[in-house]
Structures are given as structure tokens and as C-alpha cells.
Amino acid sequence: MNFKRMWALFVARNFEFIRDRAGFGWNILFPFLIVAGFGVMFSSDSRSEFKVGVFPVVPDQMVVTDLEIPERLKTYDYIKIVPFETYDAAVDKLLHHKIDMLLKNSGPKLHYWINASSPKGAVLEKVVKESVISEDMFAERMVKQQVKGKQIRYIDWLFPGILGMNIMFSSLFGVGYVIVRYRRSGVLKRLKATPVTAFEYLTAQLASRVWIMLCTSFLVWFGCDLLFDFQMEGSYLDAAVIFLAGTLCLVSLGLILACRGTNEELTNGIINFICWPMMFLSEVWFSLEGASEWVKSIARVLPLTHFLSAVRKIVNDGATLADVSSELAILLVMSVVFLTIGSLLFSWTK
């Protein structure tokens, strides 16, 4: 093993990535745009979750307080009222799930329509029925209590997932796809004629991608933090260790995809086949709480699941490395397994 050759390959790969301005810029811009978009969407505490259509109403002349619907429906923060002039126009939107319920704006008796296949419609039906019942009846039978403790904003929970997703895509495409492209174009065949060994080449590729992803991830983190003021409950050093372990694991998985093959289209399909299920099952966008047990079992096999679980425990809950030792150990073991498989199966030309 020659460290000079490894360093030369490491530097060359870094320069290649940085000189690709489109790829370099996208790795920083993509997660930033997603976070900025969600920041704008969820910046208000009174965002609308349900859309209720009302007819007959002239859209340009609608005054919510003048509508002949229950008063409570007019004031709910999570209900947006959408006016329609005719029943036909409104019911078409209801059938296509563009609104969740339809109300008729007339008479003392409330007429409503729902789409039987819409979960939101079923919930809104309960809300509408509740809106015509006296508050005194609830006061006699129900006791409302507030949750104690520090509340976590959705964007604070989401942000580690976006960074993890970006690292996953960049690791698999930046290693797996690129090395397959090198093999097809003959670059690896020429490297085989040099004193460089497969171990030195793979190690340099691994180190380069891990270094690049850590730098871009923390650049995005601190850039977004200046705009959205993320809540950081744990230690930045502990978070950095988990990011290092998670990135190492995902890049190692990319080496398995890169160890064989010369078909870029097939490699692209395999990477997408791995990335998309991992993105949805590893709680990037939403929690799997309440999902089937077999879904959770599959999620526990995925490295991104343990990566995001550890990061969120540190960032959102103030956990230490000792608290996430199980996730850290799993990531390191997976890294060793992936690296071993990638090294054993690697071919310069096949």
C-alpha cells in the first residue's frame, strides 16, 4: 500500500468534482432549495390542512363571515374555504380529491358531500358534525390538557432527513455510477497498467467522496441555519461523528455497485431501485409510526434508517454518542461489510 499514490488519486478526484461546477453547485443548491421551500410552506402556524368547497358562491365576491355555514367552520385555522359557483364544478373537484368536502351555502339545514375514498373527507365529516354541537356538551365530558416539554418544529425534524437523502444520492451516484463510467470509457483499464492497486484506488475514491460530502453537508447546514435558526439540542461534535459514520456507510454501499459492470444505464436503474425505497422507508419525509411490522423490519435493514435515527436523536433530543451507540455500531459494521464485499468483487475491466 502506497500512501503517495492514494493521496494523488484522492486529490485528483477532489479536483475533478470541484471543477464540475454544475455537479458541485447542485450538491449544495438542491438540499438548500428543499429546506427553503419547506421553510416557506411551514413558516406559518395557521397553515391549511383541509379544503372545503362551498357553493353557490361567486369567487370574487365571497365574504367568509356571510356564508350560511356553521360559525366554527369559518374560524378553524386548518380549514381553507374554496368558493364555487355551481354544484357541477365543485363536485368534479371533489371527485378528483382537489377538495376534501363540499358544503351547500343555503338554508338552516346543512347539506354536505364527501368522497368516500378520501380519508380527509371522513375526518372533515366528524369536524362538521362537531361544529353544530354545543360547546357545553364537550365541556361536561372532555378535559383538554396541553403537552408539556419543548415542541419540535417539523422543519427541524425534516432537515436531517434532507441532508441524509442528499448524502445517499451523492454517495451512490458519485461513486457507483462514476466508477462504472470510468470502466466503460477505459480509464480503469489504463489505471490497471500503473502500480496502483485496487485497494488503493477504492480507498482514495472512498476518502474523496466522504470528505466532499461532509464539507458540502456542513456548508448547507450552517447556511440554512442562518436563515431558519434550527434548534440544535445536542453536540455538534457528536453530530459530526454520526455524519462521518453515515457517509462512510453509504459511500461503501456505492462501492458495491461500482465493483462490477460497464452498463451505465443498468447501474443508474439499480441505484434508483435502491435509493427510492430507502428514501421512503428511512423516514426522510414522514415517520413510519403505525406502519405494518414488516415495513418496519425492512426499514431496519437500511443504513439510512440508522443514520437518520442517530442524527435526529442528537439534533432534536440532545442525545450523546453513548445514547446512539447501537446506531453507530450498526453503521460501522455495515461499512466494513460493504467495503469487504466491494473490494473482493472489484474488477478493473469487467
DSSP string, 141-164: H----PPPSPPPPHHHHHHHHHHH
Q: CA of 77: how far to CAs of 74, 136, 144, 296, 349, in Å? A: 9, 21, 18, 34, 62
Strand pairing report for 79-83 and 101-104: unpaired
pLDDT tens digits for 64-74?
Answer: 888 888 888 88
Average pLDDT on 133-141 reads: 76
Number of H helices, E strands in the chain: 15, 4
Q: CA of 5: how far to CAs of 178, 191, 207, in Å? A: 20, 11, 13
User: What pLDDT shows up at residue 84?
Assistant: 93
pLDDT tens digits for 265-280?
Answer: 777 788 888 888 888 8
What does the CA dihedral 235, 310, 37, 251 come to, rounded to 10 degrees? 110
Beta-strand runs (E) in 163-261: none
pTM, full prediction: 0.72
pLDDT tens digits for 178-204?
Answer: 788 778 777 877 887 788 777 788 888
- Location of C-alpha cell 500500500: 1
Between 71 and 309, whose confidence is greater? Answer: 309
* Grid cell digits, residue 54: 362551498
Residue 332 has pLDDT above 90, yes or no: yes
Q: Name all domains of the chain by residue range, CATH numbers in brackets.
A: 3-42+153-345 (no CATH), 50-141 (3.40.190.10)
For residue 50, what is the enclosing H or E element? strand 50-55
